[in-house]
Structure formats: C-alpha cells, structure tokens
Structure 1
Amino acid sequence: MAQKIIFEEYFEEATLRFDYHHAGTDTTEVIYPEEYSKEKYWSGSKKHLISPFDYGKYKVVVKDAKTKTIIYSNGYSTLFMEWQTTPEAKKIRKSYYESVNVPFPKNKIILEINSIDKSQKWTNIYSEEIDPANYFIKNENAFTYKVEEIQVNNSPNKALDILFLPEGYTENEMDKFIADVTRLKSSLFKVKPFNEFKNSINIRAVLAPSKESGTDIPGEGIWKKTALNTNFYTFDSERYLTTKDIKSIKDIAGVSYYDQIYILVNTDKYGGGAIYNFYNLCTSDNEFTEEVFSHEFGHGLAWLADEYYYDDDMSSFYDTTLEPREENITTLVNFDKKWKNKLPKKLEFPTKASPKNLTKIGVYEGGGYTSKGVYRAFQECKMKSNSTKEYCEVCEETIVKVLEYYSE
C-alpha cells in the first residue's frame, strides 16, 4: 500500500515555482534551469499530492531528499512537445520557456522532470536537489494587480480554481473583460458535468491591462502590444492561438490562487488553444466562443484528445501500434483500458456513422487528426466539433474524475 503523504509534514502552504528552458530537436530534449521563486498561494489539493492520472507528456516529481520518498507529482504537457512534431523541428534546434509549480517544501527536496517517449517509456530528463533555505530563491511579487472574485464557493485546496487572465484588453476595457468572463462562466455551467460541480469550482480574474486591444495575427501583418504576447498562426495554423511568453503568464497569475489558467483574448477572430495543465486560450467575441471555450478546456483540464480528423491525414501524430494515453480515443491495441466494457454485446465493428447511431456508443473510425486507425466512442462530441454543445459519455466521465480529484 502506498504511503500516505501528509501535506503539513513536508510542505508550507505556498508555491515553489521552477522556470526553465526546454530545448532540443524533433528527437532530443534537454532542460536548462532559469530560476526558482516562492509564491504566496498554493491552491492545489493537500489531500491528493501524488497524481492518480497518467496524463500529459511530462511529469514533475518531488522527492524528500533524505528518504527519497516521492511526496508530490503532477503531469503536464508543453508547446515544445507540439513543436517537436513539426517539420521545422527536423531542421533546427529551438528552446521554449516553461514553468512548473509544486508546493513549497519545508526541507531539502529532489525535483525531477520526466518525459515519456514514443514507445511510452518514462525517462528522467532533469534532476536537482533544492534547499528551500537557498537565498537565491526569489521571494518577491512581480505584480500587484487586483483580483476579481467572480465565483468563490470553497477553499482553494478543495476546489478547482480557474484563473482568467486578460489578453488585449486595455485599461478602459477591464469592465468588458469581467463581463466576458462572467458570460463564459455562465456558459460553462450549462454543460455537463461542470453544472454538477458548480459548488466545487472557484473562478477569479486578474485585472492586468494591455497597451493595445487585440492580439498578434502574423499572417495578416497585425502586431499588438499586449500583456501576454499571444498570436494566431502557431505552427502556421491560422486558428491556433498560443503564446510562448510563459514568464509573463506565471508572473501575472502569481497574484492569485489557480489550478487552471484561462487566457481570454479580446478579439472576434475564430481560434483558441490549450495545453494540459499549462494554459487554455480562447477569443472573446466570436460566434463560436462558448463552444471553443469548453472544447479547449477539455484539453487543458482533462487531457482529452481532439476527435476530429482531416482529409489530409496527420497519421504520424499517433502511433497506431500503441494505445493512445488519452481516455477518449483508441487504436484498439489495448481497448480493454478504454470504453470497451460499455459497448453492447452485438455491435457493428467499426460502428457505422449514421442517423440511427447518432446517440449510440460504439467504435467510430476517425479521430486524433486521422481518418484511419484511430477511433472515438460517439459520432459527435464537443471534442470533435462545434455542432454539439455536449461532451460524449467517455469525455464526461474523464472530466468527472478530474473534478472529483480537485474537490475532495
């Protein structure tokens, strides 16, 4: 039986933030440390210190330096990981700024970062002993922005804390930002299972203005002076909205509690993006904003895969000889771990997409950006298209597990 970790024995109620540079090519990666900071707030669970989820491409692990006992772990993904799948990564080396948070230790720890390779084997790529008494650990607040409490129902350690950051909202547009956040909060609680966990979700917003409205649109020659330096055309995809400016994100978010960062970008252009346990983004004023908002949150909160696919297959994104680690798609290599036990005994295989099967669970081919060899549980789902406002049963159950983890 695993040893129960008592938070108060090992940690203060504060955050140790580790900023680093993640560099490499399509097949190599290395971590270069930048700095450690002590931040005032710790909003993570004090009960669940070892993550029960095998989600994300990376895992931060904290060990007690004296006993080598694992006292904290959490999974996450990064933009660097996605860049590694691009043609550019085969040609040049590149680095991305990244940051992870762990509870602030009382005694010396060993902090590790592990990476899972294409064969799904975990490998340690960084390890360092840290003394919390080290006077080079920064202990200052970069900003003093006001934090607006949109909805606070529970203590931070027993709730999912969502923190909204404004991007491309000027000082005169802060009222619009709060109105936009409030609107998206309302839309979130119209969707299962979030509507069932309303009392276990806290929502705050940081009033951090930008010098100019909007965001960068490189393909149109538009460049704006904004707080978080977001841009469309990530990896040459027009609608993919991200930022590499992790330092600004974490500096601004550090004024509040947060488990999930949601960046709201002040534009009516269609687009968004999300990276598991890293950040979420969507635009404020597009006709599909509410759909994109919750779709991206499926990625950032619960590591759900995209269920759509292209005619021009990205068949190299998932190795069909291995079972995807995301809960909502399968290659059938280890289907027993997925939704196989939910299927009716007599089932067309693969299940044909048709009006009569529209609400029936099955094994529908197409998902994870490819039309062949990857399967999803339902014809339609919020993780597949904007045509439905609901998550499918498999995605919903995955989100429930994550929400329960934060709220217990």
Structure 2
Amino acid sequence: MKLQFIITAAMLLCLGVPAQARHIDFDTHFSDTTLRLNYIFSGNAACQHIAVSNYCKSAHWWGKRHRLAQVPVEGNGQLTMRLHRTGEVIYRNSFSTLFQEWLTSPEAQVASRAFENVFLVPMPVDTVDITVDLRDSRHRVAASLTHQVVPSDILTRNTDAAGTAPHVVVQRAADSLRCIHIAYVAEGYTQAEMATFLADVDKANEALFAHEPFKSNRNKFSIVAVTAPSAQSGTSEPGNGVWRNTLLQSHFDTFYSDRYLTTLALNRLHDVLAGIPYEHIIVLVNSSKYGGGGILNSYDLSSTHHKAFAQVIVHEFGHSFAGLADEYAYAGEEDSTYPRDVEPWEPNITTLAHFKGKWEQLVASHTPVPTPVDSARLDRPGLYEGAGYSLKGVYRAYPDCRMRSNAVPYFCPVCRKAIERVIDFYTAPEADGQ
C-alpha cells in the first residue's frame, strides 16, 4: 500500500499538481457523520507513546468540507487519513496538545504522565488508515501511530444515544455549510447560575467580534452556548487547597503555574458536546481569579469574572483558532521552546532561521535587528526582540499586540492577517484544485 501511495503522489507531481492541493470530493469519501478519535498520549521528555482509547460517532459533520487534505497552520502535531486500499490522503488536520507542552516542563525530565486527546474527523465511507504524528521543538516526528478504522465497526460508540446537552443558539452564519462552528461551554456554573453563564457568553462573544478580522467576518461564524451545569460553583485552585466538583474538572496551577487554568478531561468535554454543532471550543470558567489557556484545535478556556476576562478570552482564541504564538517574554528566564536555528511554525514570531514567507515584505531594508521600540512609531513593523517566552533571539513584528499584552485592544497587522487566512481557509470558495 505504501508503494502505491508514493507512485500516486509522484504521478500528481509530474502533472504539476501538488499532492496535498488536489481536489478531494467530500461526498465521495465521507458521510455526514462525525467520527471522534479518543487517544492517550503518554511518556516523558525522553520517550512518548500514542495509543487509541476508543472511537465514538454522532450524526452530522460540522468541520471543513473542502481543502480536506490541507492545513492552514502546521501545529505541533498532525493527523492524516489515507484510504486503506490506495494510500491516497483524503483528510488532514493539525493540532497542539497540553501533553507536548508538559514535555518541556522540569517534571517531564523525571516523571511520566498520560493525557487524554480527542480529534474529530468526518466519517469515511471506506476503510482508512489514520496516522497521528507528534513533533518536537525542532519539527521532527517524536512519536507516531498508524491505525486502521473500519466505518462499520460495531464497537464505535454512538454518542447520540445519550441525548444532546441543553444549548442556546447565540448567532447563525450566513452560510451554514461554509462557516466556522464555535461552542461556548459552561464550567463551574450550577443550574441556578446559567443566566450568569449566558450573560458571560454575550460578553465574551462581543469582545471577540470587536476585534478585526473577526468583526468584519462575523457572518461566517455559527455559535452556540452549552448550558450543562456543574455540581459545584467555581473551579479548583490546588495552590490554595481548593477542589471543586465541576463538569470538566478544570483547575488553576497547571504545571505548577499559578495562573494557568486548563482542563484535562477532554473525553468528558466532547461527551458534553456530542450532537451539538461545533468544531472550535471556548470554555468559560466561573471564577474571578486571573487565568486561562488556549491550545490549537483543542480549546480556548478562561475565567470569566476577572477584570481582564475579555482580553484573555480573545488572546487565548488567537492560540486555539489560528495557532498564534505568545509574543511576550519572561524576565530573568530563558525558555527553550523555540531553538534559535529552527524557524517557528507560528506565523507571528521568528528566529530568523527561515524568515521568508512571514512579514519580511513589511520590513524596510534598513531596519535594524533587533528593532528599537520608538514610542512615536508604535505602528512601525520590524523585528522586535522578546517573544515566544524568550528575551533574546525570538522576534515579533510590532511593539505590541493582543498576543503580547492585555493593554492593547487589537491584534497587530501580522496577527490579523494570520487569523484572516484561517477564516478564509474554512469559508472561502476553492480556487483551481483546492
């Protein structure tokens, strides 16, 4: 099978058609059903493993129906679906994971842990081979698993049987088949607090669509709010000895960072969302403590009652939706997330290892590197040092941006362009090929 795939790809290249850009007809290869792939990622900094946990399915597919073998950003990992009988690639997606982030922590040097991870794909009509690759900071494949999926497998759990969680339509897209589906999910709101949750959804949604390019593309987003209650109000704060019984078991102090608020219960999160139209997820956490987190094609999560809530929820969506990197640096710390001789895949930072294709056309030839910040020219593009958690050797395009600080009420032009490319990837009509 592998040899046959190589020949097919080579034939396409001879014809001048890039293998991943050719048109793949959704209705030929897929049914209107979501296949949910549940995995366990485990290991430590030295060795990682991927294992299948189980499969689930539910009616309707809410993700992309075009550009099926392309990804808008590379991510820290990729999922590839191939027809088993021919090896043809019929679907791809990219992602990042909390597990891979944990691998950079001191704990991963001395201990092993396991993390749930969930990916949604359209249900194939024929048997397929699915490959999941995890990549390290040098973009090398660190762990890989290929497994076969048979659409008629009787052990694929039908999550529709459990019913659909209560939800409210927040806004409808102009075109329901060529749009981006977002679900807001309540975390730490009791049944008696659902009115507060819906008010928080409105605040978060208006904050998001006050920013360009979301503002001018608002009619391309379909949004629901899932009003699934928690047994207790709030969220866990391990550093303060506080543990709450909440829907998604969220907590602060992730990786021992006081403000890092996440959930590890991804299977539970997707169980709650079964049967609801969604692809991107925003979890609102009922807390007044500052914090949040955003992971590409996984979720955006933020506490809702801190004064900086609106800024944080938009910043984290920059991560989870468009794969934007953080543009700030930690004073007194040197982070190894971005090796200086490797170009980051994120579109809004650079090490200058391979700057071409980012914002080099905006930078004048005489611009010094690093570019000094001129308070009178905050709109001047350049190569400003201090980004990707490092004070030296990693550069951003502008002095400030929503991806750098809460004080700036906008995305810089480079981040806006990156977000717009992702919106167009999901919603724009195909050109020749895809």
Corresponding residue of 1:358: 378
1:17 equivalent in alignment to 2:36? yes
Which range is displaced more, 340-349 or 187-196?
340-349
Do the aligned residues in 1 keep the contact of 2:282 with 2:301 (CA within 8 Å)?
yes
Secondary structure of residue in 2 paired with 1:177: helix
TM-score normalised according to structure 2 size: 0.92
Q: Give distance in 2, aligned partners of 1:46 and 1:21.
A: 27
Q: Give distance in 1, aligned partners of 2:251 and 2:140.
A: 33
Do the aligned residues in 2 keep the contact of 1:44 with 1:157 (CA within 8 Å)?
no
Q: Give distance in 2, aligned partners of 1:254 and 1:195.
A: 28
Indicate the percent of aligned positions where both proteins have the same amino acid.
36
Q: Give distance in 2, aligned partners of 1:132 and 1:73.
A: 18
Gaps of 5+ in 1: none
1:206 equivalent in alignment to 2:226? yes
Q: Give distance in 1, aligned partners of 2:23 and 2:141.
A: 23
Corresponding residue of 1:113: 132
1:67 equivalent in alignment to 2:86? yes
Letter matched to residue 155 of structure 2: F
Do the aligned residues in 2 keep the contact of 1:14 with 1:39 (CA within 8 Å)?
yes
Q: Give distance in 1, aligned partners of 2:172 and 2:351.
A: 41
1:99-123 superposed Cα distances (whole Å, 9 cap, x missing partner): 1111001110111101223332346
Corresponding residue of 1:92: 111
Do the aligned residues in 1 keep the contact of 2:73 with 2:323 (CA within 8 Å)?
no
Q: Give distance in 2, aligned partners of 1:127 and 1:113.
A: 6
In the TM superposition, 1:332-347 aligns within 5 A as 332-347=352-367
What's the offset of the Cα at 1:156?
4.1
Secondary structure of residue in 2 paired with 1:153: coil
Q: Give distance in 2, aligned partners of 1:204 and 1:382.
A: 25
Letter matched to residue 85 of structure 1: T
Do the aligned residues in 2 keep the contact of 1:143 with 1:252 (CA within 8 Å)?
no
In the TM superposition, 1:246-395 aligns within 5 A as 246-395=266-415
What's the offset of the Cα at 1:319?
0.3
1:139 equivalent in alignment to 2:166? no
Secondary structure of residue in 1 paired with 2:321: helix
What's the offset of the Cα at 1:342?
1.2
Which range is displaced more, 342-351 or 201-210?
342-351
Q: Give distance in 2, aligned partners of 1:99 and 1:223.
A: 25
TM-score normalised according to structure 1 size: 0.97
Which range is displaced more, 337-346 or 65-74?
337-346
Do the aligned residues in 2 keep the contact of 1:188 with 1:194 (CA within 8 Å)?
yes
Which range is displaced more, 297-306 or 51-60?
51-60
1:324-363 superposed Cα distances (whole Å, 9 cap, x missing partner): 1111011111111221111123323221012123111111
Corresponding residue of 2:99: 80
What's the offset of the Cα at 1:315?
2.7
Q: Give distance in 2, aligned partners of 1:202 and 1:254.
A: 17
What's the offset of the Cα at 1:51?
2.4
Gaps of 5+ in 2: 1-16, 429-434
Q: Give distance in 1, aligned partners of 2:188 and 2:118.
A: 23
Secondary structure of residue in 1 paired with 2:75: coil
Do the aligned residues in 1 keep the contact of 2:23 with 2:67 (CA within 8 Å)?
no
1:98-149 superposed Cα distances (whole Å, 9 cap, x missing partner): 1111100111011110122333234661111111111111113345311210
Q: Give distance in 1, aligned partners of 2:266 and 2:240.
A: 24
Q: Which runs of 4+ in 1 moved over 6 A?
A: none
Corresponding residue of 1:161: 181
Secondary structure of residue in 2 paired with 1:157: coil
1:403 equivalent in alignment to 2:423? yes
Pick one of 243, 262, 275 that aligns with 2:263: 243
Q: Give distance in 2, aligned partners of 1:203 and 1:140.
A: 21
1:129 equivalent in alignment to 2:172? no
Letter matched to residue 115 of structure 1: L
Do the aligned residues in 1 keep the contact of 2:48 with 2:142 (CA within 8 Å)?
no
Do the aligned residues in 1 keep the contact of 2:159 with 2:274 (CA within 8 Å)?
no
Q: Give distance in 2, aligned partners of 1:81 and 1:154.
A: 37
Q: Give distance in 1, aligned partners of 2:332 and 2:69.
A: 40
Which range is displaced more, 145-154 or 343-352?
343-352
1:161-209 superposed Cα distances (whole Å, 9 cap, x missing partner): 1100000000011111111101211111111110010110111011100
Corresponding residue of 1:55: 74
